Chains A and B, each alone.
Chain A
Amino acid sequence: MSLLNTPVPISAYLILAAILFSIGIAAFLIKRNVISVFMSIELMLNAVNLTFVAFAHRWHALSGQIFVFFVMVVAAAEAAVGLAIIIAIFRTRKTLNVDQINLMKN
């Protein structure tokens, strides 16, 4: 019962964000599909947003939440442009595998 009544430390939220960010890094490196790679970037953005919100809660400051809002706006714009680029790549290369998209290699 004493365990239940302990408050959640902010560092628990931060460690959760670190876990999600590391999984995002691993997925970014391991995934071979361009869309999955792009999704892992979104996962990393979300993890960083969680740290922003946690610190905004800690310092009773609104700036962190405002920053998360702007990150969301930029992420939406980035997703639209990035997916358009993926469609253009698929149209020219007929593949989504990042190993075969090597036009700029050598």
Chain B
Amino acid sequence: MCFTIINEASNQKLAIPGTPRQLSDRTFQEPMQLALFLIFAALAIAGALNLLLQKHPINSALSLVVVMMSLAVLYWTLGAEFLAAAQVIVYAGAIMVLFVFVVMLLNAGEEEHTTGSRAAYLAGIPGATAVFCLLSFVFLTESHAIGNAHLGGMLDNGLNNIAEISRVLFTRLLLPFEVTSVLILVAILGAVVLARKDDETPAQPITTKAAVKEEAKEEVHV
């Protein structure tokens, strides 16, 4: 329901600026933006803290999915619809599936704490707090200069966000955009080469369950 309301609001704002209708929209959409921000910021922080506190990597991965989904909503409230969709598809879809896949493949269990990790606690939490204090100090002192966020319709001309991005991406930034395809090709090749088994002889293809069981038995005997 909230989606339709905001879409209507942004459309009206795009249509005729400065009409009394827009004023009512503004008073209407600000609580919506505040509510969306508070809910999804809280969700993102909760997910990030859960990533930090969980012992098992699969729980960390799933809480990272929560963070990415709530960040997608925040992108969308900032007028970046394309990035919100890409965040869900690329990050929460592709990358996190890859992570969960590797966690399952390597059968990663709970992490055990060592002396190294205690030193990391002593250094990590104050260090991270210092970075946070520094950043938030800068942001708060510059708060007035940075200004406020307004829901929907970030760009002035009547184009939507995806059309704007694609216009820039396929004209001015065409070469970098095409180079990324080479980068991804290299990454695929690198991943295949790195994850391949090292031995020179090609591995015997194991087709049936019985063969897997036999191999497991042999390993036990050895």
Contacts and interface: CB of A to CB of B under 8 A. Distances in A.
Contacts of B125: 26, 30
A58 B117 CA distance: 40
13 contacts: A13-B37, A18-B136, A22-B129, A22-B131, A25-B124, A32-B113, A49-B87, A57-B80, A72-B87, A77-B183, A80-B187, A80-B190, A84-B193
Interface string A39-60: 1101100100110011011101
Interface residue SS majority, chain B: helix
Contacts of B123: 29
Interface in B55-104: 57, 60-61, 64, 67-68, 71, 74-75, 78-80, 82-83, 86-87, 90-91, 94-95, 98-99, 102-103
A7 B74 contact: no
Interface string B93-130: 01100110011011010011110110011011101110
B12 interface: no
A66 B67 CA distance: 21
Contacts of B154: 56-57, 60
A16 B132 CA distance: 10
Range, interface on chain B = 35 or more
Contacts, number: 263
Contacts of A19: 45, 48, 132
A18 B45 CA distance: 11
A81 B194 contact: yes
Contacts of B117: 30, 32, 99
B83 A69 contact: yes
Contact of B79 (A6, A35, A57): A57
